[in-house]
Amino acid sequence: MLKKTDINSQRQKLIVYIVLTLATLAVYWQVTQYGFVNLDDGDYVRYNRLIRLGMKGIPLAFSTIYAQFWHPLTWISLIFDYQLYGPNAGGYHFTNIILHILSTLLLFWLFNRMTGAIWKSAFIAGLFALHPLRVESVAWISERKDVLSGFFWMLTLCLYVYYTEKPAIKRYVLVLFSFVLALMSKPMVVTLPFIMILLDYWPLTRFQSQKGNLLLWQLKEKILFFVLSAVFSIITIYYQFKPSGESFPLSSRISNALVTFITYPIQILWPHDLTISYPFRFQIPLWQVFGTILLSVIISAAVIVMAKRLQYLFVGWMWYVITILPVIGIIQNGDYAMADRYTYLPSVGITVMLVWGLPSMIRSEETRKRFLFPAGIAVLAIMSVLSWKQCVYWKNSMELFNHALRVTRNNFLAHNDLGLALYEKGKMEEAINHYNKAILMAPRYAYAYNNRGTAYAQLGQYQSALDDLNKAIHLKPDYAFAYNNRAMVYFYEGNKELYCHDARTACTLGTCIALEKAKGKEYCR
């Protein structure tokens, strides 16, 4: 028979589930009316032949490295979406929203189950759901891998807590299987076994109940998880980490990583000037680098010193540190300095520090009840408004990259992508103007030369087009699309020999578009 307190607790949790769902829908529903953007959505959906194969594409999803990732479950989810929605972008957005809501509800269940603190757990889940840093992961169709892996990350931890309550082989297998699904969605989740160990320390307090060698116990229990993490890490490093543009010096990458390591928590606490692209800075003032090093050391030392007394601070900080490391940028995997989407999982750690740390600073229980609850509601309301506004920028490519140019400086990435958006609208001269600005800021950025060359070709300025495409290939010798586009220029000029050479080269590198033009395969025999 349920006690009255149990009934009240069940009602409170039901209210939390409902409010979290409705609030997240209210913020993000608008994106179901938006279309695709010209950054990666073409690779993932618009021009992706894999997802159009239907069920036949599922085996290929496991054997194909596409967009420099091996994440078959992400492709399978997009295959199913294509069967449901076809080319309708709103459907893909809707799936992202649903996955984000499910992750939010699982996060609430996770911390409530571990701590029994309903309202603290609700705030953690609410901030996860409604923080404007989440918008990029949810509103960007190409970030399906983010919300899908986030869902399986949360599910794995929930199943792990379920396993720790009554260890059994069947429960263990469920945890392991869920972890594999997470890894097949996005390799960033390789750090999850370390998070399990943190949760064992607090709030599960499993360390206290164990006798003997703690390291041996943890290793024995989680060895399979670490093996899987190692395997997926090797696969990711082998296939993904190939510089997409300029190869940044190691010293610049380390400096950038040190600064962004502290920038992310600042953005979590005070989200401002958020955008899809943050240009990489080759020269960062030394005071910023040393300042962030000092601050990082102070915070880390403080939480380690207080680890026994304030366990939640240690666990929260280490959650952030561990989960942000794979994407901190020391190993280059893009031309940007940082990305909002990288905080999708790490932000939970900072929130844990806030939710359990702030109440401990207020001695009076009455003051805590009177102040913290309304303050929490106010924070979530403010974050909801900011997120709703941030979603508006994802309406289309023009809006997205114009916003990026408004809130950043010397953003060659945004100029290049805005040029692409203008190109798609047939505004060649305006597109070329933005490509010019991108090249002026980043003279070795191969993509801008390729794009400008393509625009020149559309205007019939073939020599200018060839000059730019030659430059793009010189900067990036394995650039398939540059060979493809140069082949088309030769085709327009009637140069069969050079057309066939470049068309075949492009096809060898993975892009056979030019070879399929004008019956290219027969033409080049």
Confidence band of 283 (pLDDT split at 50, 70, 90): confident
End of a domain among 392, 416, 445? Answer: 392
Cβ-contact 66, 145 below 8 angstroms: no
pLDDT at 243: 45
Copy the structure tokens of residue 459.
């205007």
For 349-373, what is the mean pLDDT?
88
**Residue 287 belongs to domain spanning:** 4-392
Residue matched to tokens 């999850």: 192
Min mean pLDDT across 128-142, 151-165, 320-334, 423-437 is at 320-334
Is the same domain home to 437 and 451? yes
381 and 275 share one domain? yes
pLDDT bucket at 322, cuts 50 / 70 / 90: very high
State how far the Cα of 201 lies from the Cα of 199, in Å rounded to an integer: 5
> What pTM did the predictor assign?
0.94
Same-domain check for residues 415 and 362: no
Residue with tokens 């950038």: 256
Residue 222 and residue 196: Cα distance in Å, rounded?
Answer: 9
Res 392: pLDDT: 97
Q: Is residue 361's pLDDT more than 60?
A: yes
> According to the model, what pLDDT value does residue 513 have?
77
Based on the domain organization, do 385 and 401 belong to the same domain?
no
Is the pLDDT at 494 greater than 70, yes or no? yes
The residue out of 392, 411, 433 marking a domain boundary is: 392
Give the C-alpha separation, 426 to 488, whole Å: 18
Same domain, residue pair 297 and 352: yes
Q: What confidence tier does 249 reach under pLDDT thresholds 50, 70, 90?
A: confident
Distance CA 493, CA 478 (A): 24
- Does one domain contain both 147 and 291? yes
Q: What are the φ/ψ torsions at residue 341 (nearest 5 degrees)?
A: -60, -25
Q: Are 446 and 475 in contact (CB under 8 A)?
A: yes
| Average pLDDT of every residue of the chain | 92
In sequence order, the β-bridge partners of residue 126 are none
What's the rounded mean pLDDT across residues 431-450? Answer: 95
Please give the Cα distance from 243 to 247 (Å, whole number): 6
Say if residues 199 and 315 touch (Cβ distance below 8 Å): yes
| In a shared domain, residues 377 and 501 | no
Report CA 126 to chain centroid distance, whole Å: 19
pLDDT at 511: 77
- How many domains are contained in the chain? 2
pLDDT of residue 349: 98
> Which residue, of 346, 373, 392, is where some domain finishes?
392
pLDDT value of residue 522: 67
The three-state DSSP-derived secondary structure of 172-197 is HHHHHHHHHHHHCCCHHHHHHHHHHH
Of 139, 111, 106, residue with least CA distance to 20: 106
Structure confidence at residue 471 (pLDDT): 97
State mean pLDDT over 419-425. 96
> What residues are paired with 101 via a beta bridge?
none
pLDDT per residue as tens digits for the range 188-246:
899 999 999 999 999 999 998 777 788 888 999 999 999 999 998 888 777 655 544 45
Q: Is the pLDDT of residue 3 over 70?
A: no
Shared-domain flag, residues 388 and 403: no
Q: What is the pLDDT of residues 75-125, one digit of tens each?
A: 999 999 999 999 999 999 999 999 999 999 999 999 999 999 999 999 999
Q: Which residue has the tokens 């709103």?
A: 90
Average pLDDT over residues 428-448: 95
What pLDDT, on the 0 to 100 scale, is given for residue 518? 56
CATH for 482: 1.25.40.10
Q: Are 476 and 370 found together in one domain?
A: no
Among 454, 455, 459, 461, smallest CA distance to 479 is for 454
- Reply yes or no: is the peptide bond before residue 87 cis, omega within 30 of 0: no
Are the C-beta atoms of residues 427 and 436 closer than 8 Å to each other? no
Q: What percent of the chain shows pLDDT beyond 70?
A: 95
Are both 387 and 461 inside the same structural domain? no
Confidence of residue 521 (pLDDT cuts 50, 70, 90): low
The predicted pLDDT at position 4 comes to 59
- Give the H/E segment covering residue 469: helix 462-475
Q: Are residues 340 and 425 in the same domain?
A: no
**Phi, then psi, of 279 in degrees rounded to 5:** -65, 145
Q: How many CA atoms lie within 13 A of 285 on its CB side?
A: 3
Q: Looking at the structure, do residues 215 and 114 belong to the same domain, yes or no?
A: yes
